[in-house]
Amino acid sequence: MMKRSAFGLKAASGAMLRGLRVSDAAPACSDQTTAAVQSPVKCPQLKTTSFDTDVVVHSGQNKSISVRVADIQPDQMDNVLCLFTYSWEVKYSTWKITSSNLECEALQFEFSDVTLPIVTAQFTVTSGKNSVPLDNPQNITVRIYKCGTMVTNCGQCLS
């Protein structure tokens, strides 16, 4: 018997496509269009709190990352992790939710390459006992920069 989530979607497996869970056939048909399962509620997703989809952080800075979260159900708020993938490693932090915002607790963002001015971290939030990633349709990322490698005067970098 197929286990269903609180909002009527198959909980065992299935891929995500534009905020909707699609049928189990989707992984086998990656080059084909697959119809989404009809549901009154969309799958949970991350949204920016501003117009910019890049969060900008100076290398070496501790920063908490805050995003809006939409359509998340109570059973999806367990085992939540914020993952940041860059420079061949994954860093993670815990979280807290305030109203409709998810805040990833402060984490030090840094990279050691002295020739690169900017490194982009892919941002993923996982939840549930199977660590399923939430949709990130706006492709929110964290841009970590080093002012000293961008310009000769940091005043120019920050203006």
**What is the percentage of the chain residues whose pLDDT exceeds 90?**
43
Is residue 27 domain-shared with residue 55, that is, in the same domain?
no
Domain limits at 37? 1-43
* CA-wise closest residue to 81 among 125, 45, 121, 130: 125
Is residue 25 domain-shared with residue 90, that is, in the same domain?
no
Per-residue pLDDT tens over the stretch 63-84: 999 999 998 888 788 889 999 9
CATH of the domain at 76: 2.60.40.10
50: buried, middle or exposed (CB in 10 Å: 19+, 13-18, 0-12)? Answer: exposed
pTM (global) more than 0.85: no
Per-residue pLDDT tens over the stretch 110-125: 999 988 999 999 999 9
DSSP label at residue 120: E
Structural domains in the chain (count): 2
119 in a domain, yes or no? yes
**pLDDT, mean of residues 123-130:** 90
